[in-house]
Chain A
Amino acid sequence: MSTDTSTATEASLPGRPPVTPPADWTMPTATRWTLDNGLTVLAYDVPGQYVLSVRLAVPALPSQEPQEREGVLGILAHTFDEGTEEHSAEDFADLLERSGAALGSSSSEHGVIFDLDLPRTRWDEGMTLFGECLRHPAFPDDEVARAVRRRLADIEQEKVDPRSRASREFASVFYTPDSRVSRPGGGSAASVRTITAQDVREFYRRHIGPVGSTLVVAGDLSAGPAGEPAVDVLATAERIFGAWAAQPDPVVAPQQPQRAADATKIVLLDRPGSVQSELYVGCLGPDHDVEGGWAAYQVLGFVLGGAPQARLDAVLREEKGYTYGVRAGFVPRSKDGIFLSSGSVRSEVTVDALRLLLEILANARDGFTEKELRSGADFMRMTAPSRFATADDLASEAAGLALEGRDTGWSQQLLDDLGRLTTTDLDSAYERVPVGEWTIVVVGDAQVYREGVEALGAGPVEVRPA
Chain B
Amino acid sequence: MPLDYRISERTLANGLRVVVNEDHNVPTVTVNLWVNVGSRHEATGHTGFAHLFEHLMFQGSANVASGEHFALLMDQGGRLNATTWFDRTNYFETVPTGALDLALWLEADRHGRLLAALSQENLDNQRDVVKEEKRQRYDNQPYGHAIADMYATVFPVGHPYHHSTIGSMEDLDEASLEDVRSFFSEHYGPNNTVITLAGDVTPEEGFAAVERYFGGLPASAAARREPVEPLPPLDEPVRLERREDVPSDRLYLCFRLPVDGTDEFFAASMALDVLGGLATSRLYKRLVRREHLANSLHAAAWGLVDGVSLGFISVDVADGVNPNRAEAALTEELDRFALEGPTAGELEAVMAQNERGWLQHLASLDERADAICGNTLLHDDPQFINTILDRLGAITGEQVKQAAATYLRPRNRAVVAYLRAEPPAGEEPVEPVTDLPSGLSQQAAVVDKEDR
What residues of chain A have their CB less than 8 Å away from a CB belonging to chain B?
A: 1-14, 16-23, 25, 46-51, 89-90, 93-94, 96-102, 117-119, 146, 149-150, 152-153, 156-157, 159-162, 274-276, 307-309, 314, 317-324, 344-346, 374-375, 378-379, 381-383, 385-387, 389-392
- Chain B 230-272 interface 0/1 with A at a Cβ cutoff of 8 Å (1 = within): 0000000000000001111000000000000000000000000
List 15 additional contacts besides A11-B216, A19-B98, A319-B125; criterion CB under 8 Å.
A1-B185, A4-B116, A5-B189, A9-B112, A14-B213, A97-B279, A100-B353, A117-B360, A146-B289, A276-B140, A307-B74, A318-B66, A321-B132, A324-B130, A389-B28
Chain A residues in 8 Å Cβ range of B285 = 90
Task: Considering the complex, give the chain B residue whose CB is closest to the CB of A8.
Answer: B218
B141 interfacial contact with A, CB 8 Å: yes
A66 to B53, CA, bound (A): 54
Query: Which of B77, B115, B218, B247 is close to A378, meaning CB atoms less than 8 Å apart?
Result: B77
* Minimum C-beta distance from A165 to chain B (A): 11
Query: Which of B71, B108, B135, B366 is close to A375, meaning CB atoms less than 8 Å apart?
Result: B71
- Chain B 318-346 interface 0/1 with A at a Cβ cutoff of 8 Å (1 = within): 11000000000000000000000000010
A344 to B360, CA, bound (A): 33
Q: Are B75 and A160 in contact (CB under 8 A)?
A: no
Which segment, of B99-107, B149-157, B426-434, B443-451, faces chain A?
Answer: B99-107
Q: Are A153 and B248 in contact (CB under 8 A)?
A: yes
A89 to B355, CA, bound (A): 23
In the complex, chain B residues 343-359 whose Cβ is within 8 Å of any chain A Cβ: 345, 348-349, 352-353, 355-356, 359
- Chain B 180-204 interface 0/1 with A at a Cβ cutoff of 8 Å (1 = within): 0110011001000000000000000
Q: Are A10 and B113 in contact (CB under 8 A)?
A: yes
* Minimum C-beta distance from A436 to chain B (A): 27
Query: Which of A16, A381, A391 is close to B63, meaning CB atoms less than 8 Å apart?
Result: A16
B280 interfacial contact with A, CB 8 Å: yes
Query: Which of B79, B125, B222, B345 is close to A383, meaning CB atoms less than 8 Å apart?
Result: B79
Task: Considering the complex, give the chain B residue whose CB is closest to the CB of A162.
Answer: B140
Chain A residues in 8 Å Cβ range of B295 = 149-150, 153
What are 25 A-B contacts defined by CB distance under 8 Å?
A1-B186, A4-B115, A5-B115, A5-B189, A5-B217, A9-B218, A19-B101, A48-B363, A99-B352, A118-B356, A149-B292, A153-B247, A153-B316, A157-B248, A274-B140, A307-B74, A318-B66, A318-B125, A344-B132, A375-B75, A378-B76, A379-B77, A381-B77, A383-B78, A392-B360
Chain A residues in 8 Å Cβ range of B124 = 321
Q: Are B129 and A324 in contact (CB under 8 A)?
A: yes
Contacts known (A6-B113, A98-B348); A321 close to B128, Cβ less than 8 A: yes
Chain A residues in 8 Å Cβ range of B96 = 22, 382, 385
* Minimum C-beta distance from A452 to chain B (A): 19
Chain B residues in 8 Å Cβ range of A93 = 278-280
A63 to B127, CA, bound (A): 46
Q: Are B28 and A346 in contact (CB under 8 A)?
A: no
Q: Are A48 and B23 in contact (CB under 8 A)?
A: yes
Query: Which of A22, A46, A150, A381 is close to B296, meaning CB atoms less than 8 Å apart?
Result: A150
Q: Are A20 and B135 in contact (CB under 8 A)?
A: no
B26 interfacial contact with A, CB 8 Å: yes
Which 3 residue pairs spanning A and B have beta carbons closest together? A382-B77, A12-B216, A321-B128
A344 to B144, CA, bound (A): 15
* Minimum C-beta distance from B117 to chain A (A): 8
Chain B residues in 8 Å Cβ range of A385 = 26-28, 96
Chain B residues in 8 Å Cβ range of A321 = 124-129, 132
* Minimum C-beta distance from A295 to chain B (A): 16
